[in-house]
Structure formats: C-alpha cells, structure tokens
Amino acid sequence: MFRTAQAAELDVIAAGSKVISVTKGNPLFHQGDLCSGFHLVLSGGIRLAFTSPDGREHTAKIAVAGDHFAEAVMFLGQPYPLNAYAMQDAEVLFIGKEAVDTCLKQNPDFSRILIANLSVQLHQFANKIATLTLHNATQRVIGYLLRYIEKDERNGGEAHFKLPASKHVIASHLNISPETLSRTLRQLEDMGLMSVEGRKISIPDIEKFRNFDTL
C-alpha cells in the first residue's frame, strides 16, 4: 500500500501510526468503538467477530500477518461493526486516518493503490457470500485451506502449514459446526488428500487437493 510513497509521505504515515501489542484473548477494539484509522497485522492473529441476535458469536474474518482491515469503516466515519480479539499474542500497526488523508492529498498513486486494496476486500467478501450460499461443507473447508496454501512456501507439489486459529474459530468462520469441520478433515485425511496433526496441515499433492470433486 505504501510502496509508491515518498520519504516525506512515509514520515507522515510513521508519525500517525503506532504499534499495538495485544495478548491472547484480549480485545483490540469492540463493536461500537469509534474507528479513527485502520490496522495491519504484523504478527500473531486477530479474529473479527459479531454477535447474532440469538446471542451466538460468529467469526467474520481471521486476520494473520500481512492482513489489514477497517479501511472502509475509517472512511465512512462509522464505529466498528465488529469486535476484534487476539487469537494469540499479536502486534498490530494502527495507521491513523489523518495520516492517510495527507497521503491521499499528496500522492494520486496512493489513492489508486488504496482503491485497489478496497476492491480486493470487496471481491473476497463477495466470494465468501457465494461460498457460504452455494458450497457444501467439504468445498468450504477445501477453499479455506487453499487460501493458506497460496500464502505458504511450496516445496514442489506439497504444502505444509499451520492453521491460524482453533478449529472452533475456523468452523464459525465457515458457518459450520466444529463437529462437521472435524469430520470433514478426517474424511479428507482418509482419502489421502491431507494429513492433520493438531493444527499442522500437510498436503502431499496441491493440484489433486485443489481439483478434488466434492459433488
């Protein structure tokens, strides 16, 4: 996002930013708090969640290192619509709106990059709606794991990575029960498509996993 910024603009961003440390289980912010900037996860993980009218909590997003969130809310001048909690000890860079506004005024390229980032988030949100609406549990699990394969280093056709959150949180994010998630992982493991050891995932053949017909 800041790759086209000049040194003076980076100074503005740095002056308007701060690193926030959040210990596991503690909130980064609560639903209804005033949003005066956006966040970039430096390490650890942040869970964005909301509470439904029946009192159940649902995970809307799992943000890991490199992910950012709350840009749209920042520009709308609205309170946070979600709660944010640390899934494990985390460091988050908070970038204030005033610093962002200054960069937008000084650098047109920054505007285009920011719009592109917001567009990607909108595309991801649309894909999630389609996934939850049209896909069965197995397809949801495979699609979710594939996103982390893309982020992880590849060794030939293999992939080895660690789930960023507990299975309970991931099940909530996929709108399935924890029992369904565990059963689906076991089924994929029984078919030789992957192996599971706690939160460690190994996929011996990425293409076979990606092209698995779940219908």
Rg (CA), the chain: 19
Q: What is the mean pLDDT of residues 81-96?
A: 95
Name beta bridge partners: 91: 21, 43
Burial of 90 (0-12, 13-18, 19+ CB in 10 A): buried
pTM of the model as a whole: 0.69
Average pLDDT, the chain: 85
HSE-CB at 134 with a 13 A cutoff on CA atoms is 7
Predicted confidence at residue 49, as pLDDT, reads: 93
d(CA 71, CA 73): 6
Structural domains of the chain, ranges and CATH numbers in brackets: 7-132 (2.60.120.10), 136-210 (1.10.10.10)
Q: Identify the sign of the CA torsion 127, 123, 22, 57.
A: negative
First to last CA, the chain: 39
What is the chain's percent helix, strand, coil content, to nearest 5?
A: 45, 30, 25
Asked if pLDDT for residue 17 goes beyond 80, the answer is: yes
pLDDT band at residue 83 under the 50/70/90 scheme: very high
CB 37 within 8 A of CB 97: yes
CB 20 within 8 A of CB 92: yes
15 vs 131: which has the higher pLDDT: 15
* Amino acid letter, 119: S
CA 64 to chain centre: 6
- Determine how many CB atoms are found less than 10 A away from the CB of residue 153: 7
Asked if pLDDT for residue 155 goes beyond 60, the answer is: no
Q: What is the mean pLDDT of residues 124-138?
A: 66
- Determine how many CB atoms are found less than 10 A away from the CB of residue 77: 10
Give the pLDDT confidence of 110-130 residue by residue, as tens digits.
Answer: 777 777 777 776 766 666 665
Total residue count of the chain as it appears in this document: 215
Asked if pLDDT for residue 215 goes beyond 50, the answer is: no
Predicted confidence at residue 174, as pLDDT, reads: 87
